[in-house]
Amino acid sequence: MRTFVLRARAAPTDSAKLLASVGGDAHAEILAHTLMNAIFVAQSHRPDVVVYLVLESTQDYSRSIRFEASAMHEIGGFNEAALLAKVAKALDASRGMGKEETRPVESGVTVQTISFERLVQQLAENHQLYVMEKKGKPIREQAFQGNPCFLLTDHIPMPKNTFHTLDRLGATRITLGKTMLFASQCVVLIHHALDQRQG
């Protein structure tokens, strides 16, 4: 199983605001592009992938939307609008939730009111964490075992104190090169690196 967590610090947890922010400063389209590149391949999807989108621009609690590729049905189209509609549906389903509640949205999709830090703490219990960092270990030199979980961020860099938390959780810092890439591009390169090893 491969797990990806995208921390979208600027993404609104209100569905109308989210959809209105596409192409704007919040860059909501990053959510759709990352989801698309994590789950889909030509004429199919990757069954062994889970994606968490953590939206943090909120009046109450961050929202973590979990997509399990093997359980998803009727995705509605291989395009930005269809995938953002899935995110919006999950946000609508999360209205009125208390802290750290979980609700099913549809087959393969659940939403939880949980912070990025708390989610990562939970994932660390049965995943090896990897975080993108410019000065990290080159991915080609990194061995991967068990359930790797890759932590990504939107256009807003991960705060320094988050790296301290991740270090305490045993996260490994890896890099895909000197050029800063979009999260959606990182996902493609990570998949490629792991696919090559599976031969």
Structure tokens at 179: 């050029």
User: What are the residues whose beta carbons fall under 8 Å from the beta carbon of 4, sequence distance 6 or more?
Assistant: 34, 38, 49, 50, 51, 52, 149, 150, 152, 187, 190
List residues bridging with 6 in a β-sheet: 53, 152
How far from chain centre, in Å, is Cα 34? 7
pLDDT tens digits for 117-172?
Answer: 999 999 999 999 999 988 899 999 999 877 999 999 988 888 888 989 999 999 99
pLDDT tens digits for 83-108?
Answer: 999 999 999 999 999 999 999 999 99
Band of the pLDDT at 42, cuts 50, 70, 90?
Answer: confident
Helical H runs in the chain? 15-20, 29-39, 80-93, 116-123, 160-168, 183-198
**Dist CA 172 CA 139 (whole Å):** 11
Average pLDDT of the residues in 41-60:
89
Predicted TM-score (pTM) of the model is: 0.95
Query: Residue 85: exposed, middle, or buried by beta-carbon count in 10 A (0-12, 13-18, 19+)?
Result: middle
For 58, the enclosing helix (H) or strand (E) is none
